[in-house]
Chains A and B, each alone.
Chain A
């Protein structure tokens, strides 16, 4: 079983819709998670990171962790064409230390104007 699993999509939604992106993880000991956005032929950039359970909000983006079901989610409100990208969930090897990241497969998202 992979450490972090993600539906690769692709996912297409109309502009202004709410987008829900999801990942599952295998080890209940994992505490830190990140969401990265990657535009085509570019390196990933960090959107948000979360620790333990609950929600974290940043502008139009909300990250959510459900430890009971080992499920992490990223919600995008009022989606824009500029949000079209691949979204990757990730976890660090250690407790947010100087460790490697393990990524999900990424979900390719297209926002249709």
Chain B
């Protein structure tokens, strides 16, 4: 199956700063990647669909200007949390799906905004 690498696995930042999270598909060229957010003891909620070479598609209620997604190549998508605030503290997970098969997830990034 596809190997998905996410970096960093854990980050602490000050309120008001920006944080970039990388998601790499190591052995599969992914035209589409998905970004999820998971609050403690809650399920994964899709934030946006990252499309290689075009704009990301955001789910309802997700601010596109706050969560900037760039999918510049078939193996890399980045999520930048701009002007982070404590309420943005969460577990962010990316995934890739090969056509007609399962989704593979990164190991997640735990963001803590202080």
> Which A residues form the contact surface with B (CB < 8 A)?
6, 8, 34, 41-46, 49, 88, 92, 96-106, 108
Contact = CB atoms under 8 A, between A and B. Distances in A.
B43 A100 contact: no
Contacts of A42: 107-108
Contacts of B99: 97-98
19 contacts: A6-B43, A34-B103, A41-B110, A43-B105, A43-B106, A44-B44, A44-B93, A45-B105, A46-B103, A88-B43, A92-B103, A97-B100, A98-B31, A98-B97, A98-B98, A98-B99, A101-B46, A102-B46, A104-B43
Contacts of B45: 103
B42 A98 contact: no
B32 interface: yes
Interface in B59-114: 91, 93, 95, 97-108, 110
Interface in B37-57: 41-46, 49
Most buried by B among A49, A100, A108: A100
B25 interface: no
A43 B41 contact: no
A98 to B, nearest CB: 5
A86 to B, nearest CB: 9
Contacts of B49: 100
Given A34-B102, A43-B105, A45-B105, A99 B44 contact: no
A104 B95 CA distance: 17
B97 A43 contact: no
Contacts of A102: 46
B62 to A, nearest CB: 13
B103 A101 contact: yes
A100 B46 contact: yes
B108 A43 contact: yes
A46 B46 CA distance: 17
Interface string B7-44: 00000000000000000000000011010000001111
Which 10 interchain pairs have the tightest Cβ spacing? A43-B105, A105-B43, A46-B102, A103-B43, A43-B108, A103-B44, A106-B43, A98-B99, A43-B107, A43-B93
